[in-house]
Amino acid sequence: MKVFITGGAGFIGCNSADHFLTQGHDVVIYDNLSRIGGQANLEWLYERHGRSRSQFIHGDIRDYDRLLESIGGADVALHLASQVAVTTSVLNPREDFEINALGTFNVLEAVRHRCPEAAVLYASTNKVYGGMQEIAIVEQPTRYAYADHPHGIGERYPLDFTSPYGCSKGAGDQYTQDYARIYGLRTLVFRQSCIYGQRQFGVEDQGWVAHFVIATTQQRPIAIYGDGKQVRDLLHVSDLIRAYELGIAHMDALSGEAFNLGGGPANTLSVWAEFGPLLEKLAQRPLPITYHDWRPGDQRVFIADIRQAAAKLGWQPRISPQEGIGDLYQWVARNPHLFHRS
């Protein structure tokens, strides 16, 4: 099988490439190396697998001709390349649109014209559900919680694209589903929650779990926006990739559908009131932090209802936040040279 991965040198991309290469597949990594850590991730893949079954193409998904030339022969197109931060989308909405909306359109068109039988997996986001201000929230000692959604937010919840990022990713989400209906492409949309794990070079406005871990090991300041009791469901990258693999296996039966992929109610943490003590235990010292105003659109709670993925893909998360964060912390601590400038 030939797997074409846009954003293949990124955090999720390089872990996905590593997985498929380990399984014996050929992988094409298509990336413009604009993200922190991309070159290091690419070199890591070469060290582990050599260059015989992996091909790197320096390309941008906004360059349709380059994409069209590169994607031919793919059996799977795993579309991960993206502008990933809400804050960046507000500062530069045109670039956000061109990468996320137009870039996804380019990928779908390239598949349609060059490899129409390929399985297409699109990494969407839980931000397509918007701020969800109408949902009742209760405040508990260390976290906020849904008053009436014990299983989390399901795929039938109304979409609400409330930021440039939400609009651009949501456009790609809807285009990917529609290309299955209109053109018969074999596509799946995965609306992903907070993904974390090794090879993640998190920064303040994206990848907060890794950002806090890196800041702790590098003794950098940590800023908390809001009161630190906002809750997210966490999903380890290896559990995410298992879902990708199951999606490919079930593509013929499920093409055109969208799935929430997150930790679900069993794998949640509040971003500092609960995560902070866990991180202090790993660091074996207290961690100084500063509190700042809430950021616009920051959800008090997001927890994905993942029962549809369980029922149709046979998938459940396996790695708890405590286990996964411990593993991430040890990897960051063993590799301080990777983070001197990140």
183 is catalytic: no
Query: DSSP labels for 123-176?
Result: EEEGGGG---TTS-EEE-SS-EEESS-TT-B-TTSPP---SHHHHHHHHHHHHH
327 within 8 A of 198, measured Cβ to Cβ: yes
Angle at 296 between CA 295 and CA 300, to 5 degrees: 75
pLDDT at residue 223, as a whole number: 96
DSSP state of 98: I
Taking the CA atoms of residue 115, residue 119, residue 124 and residue 126 in that order, the dihedral angle to the nearest 10 degrees is 160
Global pTM value:
0.96
pLDDT at residue 224, as a whole number: 96
Residue-by-residue pLDDT tens, the chain, 342 positions: 999 999 999 999 999 999 999 999 999 999 999 999 999 999 999 999 998 888 999 999 999 999 999 999 999 999 999 999 888 999 999 999 999 999 999 999 999 999 999 999 999 999 999 989 899 999 999 999 999 999 999 999 999 998 899 999 999 999 999 999 999 999 999 999 999 999 999 998 889 999 999 999 999 999 999 999 999 999 999 999 999 999 999 999 999 999 999 999 999 999 999 999 999 999 999 999 999 999 876 789 999 999 999 999 999 999 999 999 999 999 999 999 999 864
Closest CA to 107 of 86, 152, 77: 77
Closest CA to 126 of 185, 89, 84, 92: 84
Catalytic residue, candidates 122, 165, 175, 225: 165
In order of their start, the domains of the chain are 2-339 (3.40.50.720)
pLDDT at residue 217, as a whole number: 96
* Residue 295: Cβ within 10 Å count: 11
Cα distance between residue 58 and residue 77, in whole Å: 16
pLDDT at residue 341, as a whole number: 63
108 within 8 A of 239, measured Cβ to Cβ: no
Backbone angles phi, psi at 34, to 5 degrees: -85, -15
